[in-house]
Amino acid sequence: MKLLARRIIPRRYHTVVRYILITIRYFGLRFKCPCCGGHFRKFLPFETDRKCPRCGCLKRHRLLWLYLKERTDFLTGHLKVLNVSPLPFFQKKCKNLKNLDYISVDISSPTAMIRMDITNIAMSDNQFDCIICYHVLEHIPNDKKAMRELFRVLKPGGWGILQSPVRHNLDKTFEDPNIVSPEEREHVFGQRDHVRIYGRDYKNRLERAGFTVKLDNYVKELEEDEIKRYYLPKNEIIYFCDKPDPKND
């Protein structure tokens, strides 16, 4: 049936038709996705997470979009944005925002606009008003260099969200450069392409790169029914970073 439909329906309409069919199949009022605006009877299981059936975003992505909307000028300010390792739905939304001058980079992802290693960003200093680096640094062996590079290309007075999984019951970050096989990394770090487990010193690592870091427990300020409706991670703290502007000292 799917093969027949693909043959009958012109290719240029496939995305639209899929969008309509998913909306109909999963429509309900129990859950809402803040990223695509869809209303659903359920989010789809995805490993230990829940995925939006329409745009594919996970819990942490829904939290990020809500935070950008409610706590920043991301949707209204005229910003030059660097997005590291972009998610397809997020990149699409950003490209459609007329207020953003948006650039995405990644060392290997075909989704990114520019192929680039963020430990060696081939851009001049003080380029961007905003940097989104969301669940990326835990994949990078030399994260300290990546942090310094991100700080370098951020404008004074600019801000970013440099988010990684953090175990707040762990004092110091655990890493071991001798652990290199995907199987061993999955066993030790929880994922095949992770190279460390960040502890509470993640904030200090960002600050040593030059950032001023605010830990914003934004989700705790939401009503319980909102957290359930959007299916958000209850314990994720936002790492909001800015680059001090000497003019404001």
Q: Fold for 58-248, please state it.
A: Rossmann fold (3.40.50)
For the chain, the 3-state helix, strand and coil shares in percent, each to the nearest 5, are 35, 25, 40
State yes or no: pLDDT of 2 exceeds 60: no
Q: How far apart, in Å, do the first and last CA atoms of the chain sit? A: 66
State yes or no: pLDDT of 206 exceeds 80: yes
pTM over 0.75: yes
Q: What pLDDT is attached to residue 246?
A: 81
Q: What pLDDT is attached to residue 17?
A: 52
List the strands of the sheet with 212-216, edge to edge: 114-115, 100-106, 79-84, 128-134, 154-163, 238-242, 212-216
State yes or no: pLDDT of 75 exceeds 60: yes
Q: What pLDDT is attached to residue 53?
A: 87
- 4-17 per-position pLDDT tens digit: 445 555 555 445 55
Q: If pLDDT is split at 50, 70 and 90, which confidence band does 55 have?
A: confident
- Mean pLDDT of all residues belonging to the chain: 90
Query: Could you tell me the residue ranges of all domains in the chain?
Result: 58-248
- Going from the C-alpha of 97 to that of each of 5, 73, 94, 118, 122, the distances in angstroms are 33, 12, 5, 24, 25
Angle CA(130)–CA(167)–CA(145) in degrees, nearest 5? 45
